[in-house]
Structure 1
């Protein structure tokens, strides 16, 4: 468990080089799974990122984008492949939910893909339930949308 003891979570800007490297790696991994026909969604300037470091090395991130009053969206949740299996995604999810509550967000939504079984298990295990697809995912057969009330 020494790995978990060495974890640091800290806020990071969309322009942070570590965030850019991690989100680029995430998009490359998704392109390898789904091909080039996935919707390309840029990083919105209002996204608040949380950077996850282990022993000072950036290994994961998650973004929170306010959508409208009370509603936020989880964006670019990612843990590098070599750091998976240690529960780091659960730490990121708990942290982004805490940040959302702090900002007065009472409902979170997210989009993930049909081939991302680990993500589907994580989200459903933590109370996220299927919801209707929202733009730009409403016509994407490989997209699944989920939401959770935080109140």
Structure 2
């Protein structure tokens, strides 16, 4: 796949049941599960983790899909936790689209959507083994914070004041 530079991507909200959203979400969950268990992910595991996506719809959140040349190449979600607090989730860039600022562009787009909704503080959690994600978040100004939520896979928690 020939992937254009991230600054030429289109990034827009999409329902999680949109075919492009499902494609990139499947790739995200496949990689996440495979890395966690050290084996290929099973379709049933992917379907279970994908759920119905209701937490990223309407007044609960937003799911963004990045496209290059019309093809889905990345995703990110923001859950609305409170009027002024959001949670960054499901940040993923497909392998062919990585590097060159792809993750930065995607997270920045998610932050812009959150700011437009009045979010002033963004939270996120991740696993220790997702070192690339940790490096990205730290580079973008996310700092360690107290644990929150009930995600059974969360090992590290970060926050950032959006100004």
- Mind listing any 5+ residue stretches in structure 2 that lack a counterpart? 42-48
How many residues get paired?
Answer: 147
**Deviation of residue 96 (structure 1)?**
0.7
Q: Which residue is equivalent to 1:117?
A: 131
What is the correspondence of 1:3-82 to structure 2 with a 5 Å cutoff? Answer: 3-4=5-6, 6-35=8-37, 40=49, 42=51, 43=53, 44=55, 45=57, 46-82=60-96
**Deviation of residue 62 (structure 1)?**
0.7
- Mind listing any 5+ residue stretches in structure 1 that lack a counterpart? none
Q: Which residue is equivalent to 1:130?
A: 144
Q: Tell me: CA distance 1:41–1:109, structure 2 relative to 1, closer, same or farther (3 Å).
A: farther
**Deviation of residue 41 (structure 1)?**
7.3
- Is residue 76–residue 91 contact of structure 2 (8 Å, CA) maintained in 1? yes
- Is residue 22–residue 61 contact of structure 1 (8 Å, CA) maintained in 2? yes
Is residue 2:161 matched to residue 1:143?
Answer: no
Rounded to whole Å, the distance in 1 between the matches of 2:155 and 2:71 is 31
Rounded to whole Å, the distance in 2 between the matches of 1:68 and 1:13 is 21
Q: Normalized against structure 1, the TM-score is what?
A: 0.87
